[in-house]
Amino acid sequence: MTQLHDQELAALLRSGESDGVERKRNAADLDRIREAVCAFANDLPDRRQAGVLFVGVEDDGSCADLAISDELLRTLAQLRDDGGLTPFPTMTVRRAVIAGCAVAVIVVEPATNPPIRCKGRTWIRVGPRRAVATPEEERRLIEKRQWRHLPFDAQPVTGTSLADLDLARFRLEYLPSLVSGDTIAQNQRSTDQQLRALRLIDANGVPTTTAILMLGISPQQWFPGAAIAWRHVDGIKLTDPTLNERVLTGAIPDQLRRIDEMMDAVNGVKLVMGPSVHTRRAQYPLPALQQLVRNAVMHRTYDGTASPCRVTWYSDRVEILNPGGPFGAVTPQTFGLPGITDYRNPTLSEALKGYGFVERFGQGLEIVRSTLAANGNPPASFQFPPPEAPAWTHVTVTASA
């Protein structure tokens, strides 16, 4: 991570706007700031240096006298994973005082897996200004990828080819979910170029892990554990009789749609007696369960384990087991804290966000908390593996009736 001292920041600010520096008077237009972050992360000029965005500075470099509050810094930091930028850029946000002027400084690292998109569009720096990348410029970004440093979900799956992908699903479902309609219409890219741009095939045309999981004709041939094991138990113990048991396979979108249907079908409704009004209430709020299952699928490890995600529905609780412990900045101690997010599978997360399975990155646990509380359920409980356990050890989530 690039560390810039105040003296270095002062020199950059004095140098004026360029392909590595941009100024903003305030944060009134967050979309413009997202576009600037996107362009710096894509690093089309191949500077291989961090780009710097100063918030609180006029176009001529003079101080805008903007109040740099903690709330402003939190708002800017949340741009990384609020869903507007995919996949997630590496960036830091802090307050600095330069020549007596308080500013917010956003430092954006060059991406190892470009292109980064802002709401379906690829932004780049062209000298001191921003622009949407042309097909040729996007091709240059793709060629810059540092394959050896990519997360597992963006790495090629040896032995696979385009024949292992459902290309009709890609054209009709995946592509429109992640790329803006006007970009698709204007660029007229080939399917091969579109797959490369979305990190679904490597430089040699080999599908990546995300491509197999989201678009694969038979994903479990390559990842046997990429499934959801469902069990409905008639009781409160695992040894009690089983009412229904299935292993959901196929592409991840199909698994998630089917598990939604199965949970909804067994989610009983109870009559809540009030002093004057009686209301009908589900045993569990479906949005809470959806978030827990989708988070398990999104954040689990797909490397080194053949264990599926498990959803076990007891008469008094639902348990969801996720093969994969906390990752990166997220630890058992920081789990669920505001602003603490990290992603084991950023490309897969981008795909699930585009499909609408994830509304806003980093908000899943808050949806779980609020909907459970509003429905009268106890808070969900989380059981983490010990630090010495393998990376694929399960995290267990329990929602109680």
Query: pLDDT tens digits, residue range 75-121?
Result: 999 898 888 898 889 999 999 999 899 999 999 999 988 899 998 89
pLDDT for 41: 95
In the chain, where the domains are located = 6-130, 150-221, 228-400
How do the residues of the chain divide into helix, strand and coil, expressed in percent and rounded to 5? 35, 25, 40
Residue 276 in this model has a pLDDT that exceeds 70: no
E strand or H helix at 138, and its extent?
Answer: helix 135-143
Architecture label for domain 228-400: 2-Layer Sandwich (3.30)
pLDDT for 88: 83
Residue 387 in this model has a pLDDT that exceeds 60: yes
Paired tokens of 134: 């042309």
pLDDT for 326: 73
pLDDT for 290: 95
Q: Which residues pair with 263 in a beta bridge?
A: none
> Which candidate, 23, 16, 18, places its Cα nearest to that of 64?
23
Confidence band, pLDDT 50/70/90 cuts, at residue 316: very high
pLDDT for 272: 63
Q: Which CATH superfamily is domain 6-130 in?
A: Schlafen, AAA domain (3.30.950.30)
Q: Which residues pair with 55 in a beta bridge?
A: 24, 104
Residue 339 in this model has a pLDDT that exceeds 80: no
Model pLDDT for residues 161-183, shown as the tens digit of each residue: 999 999 999 999 999 999 888 88
The answer to whether 323 touches 391, Cβ cutoff 8 Å, is no
> Which candidate, 290, 343, 289, places its Cα nearest to that of 318?
289
DSSP 78-131: GGGSSSSEESPPPEEEEEEEETTEEEEEEEEPPPSSPPPEETTB-EEEETTEEE
Residue 51 in this model has a pLDDT that exceeds 70: yes
Confidence band, pLDDT 50/70/90 cuts, at residue 344: confident
Classify residue 351 by burial, with Cβ atoms within 10 Å: 0-12, 13-18, 19+.
buried
pLDDT for 343: 78
Q: Whose structure tokens read 């490309």?
A: 347
pLDDT for 286: 94
pLDDT for 360: 66
Higher pLDDT among residues 41 and 4, named by residue: 41
Model pLDDT for residues 324-336, shown as the tens digit of each residue: 777 766 667 767 6
CA pair distance 179, 188, nearest whole angstrom: 13
Q: Which residues pair with 104 in a beta bridge?
A: 55, 95
Confidence band, pLDDT 50/70/90 cuts, at residue 273: low
How close are the terminal C-alpha atoms of the chain, in Å? 45
CA pair distance 69, 99, nearest whole angstrom: 19
pLDDT for 79: 92
> What does the pLDDT average to over 183-196?
85
Least confident span in 121-135, 171-185, 304-318, 376-390: 376-390
DSSP 347-370: HHHHHHHHHTS-SSTT-HHHHHHH
Per-chain mean pLDDT for the chain? 88
Give CA separation, 245 vs 230, 234, 251, 369, 375, in Å: 6, 12, 19, 28, 27
Confidence band, pLDDT 50/70/90 cuts, at residue 271: low
Least confident span in 127-131, 236-240, 318-322, 330-334: 330-334
> What does the pLDDT average to over 375-393?
74
> What does the pLDDT average to over 208-228?
97
**Quick one: three-class SS letters along 299-316?**
HCCCCCCCCCEEEEECCC
Alpha helices in 190-246 (DSSP H): 191-197, 209-215
Paired tokens of 185: 């219409």
Q: Whose structure tokens read 């000298």?
A: 127
Confidence band, pLDDT 50/70/90 cuts, at residue 362: low
> What does the pLDDT average to over 142-153?
78
As a whole-number percent, the residues of the chain with pLDDT over 70 amount to 91
Q: Which residues pair with 54 in a beta bridge?
A: 23, 105
Residue 390 in this model has a pLDDT that exceeds 90: no
CA pair distance 358, 355, nearest whole angstrom: 8
> Which candidate, 322, 298, 343, places its Cα nearest to that of 398?
322
Phi/psi-derived region of residue 209, left when phi > 0, alpha when psi is between -120 and 50, beta in every other case: alpha
Residue 224: DSSP 8-state: T
pLDDT for 183: 80
Q: Helix, strand, or coil here: 278?
A: strand
> Which candidate, 292, 257, 142, places its Cα nearest to that of 204?
142
CA pair distance 213, 380, nearest whole angstrom: 28
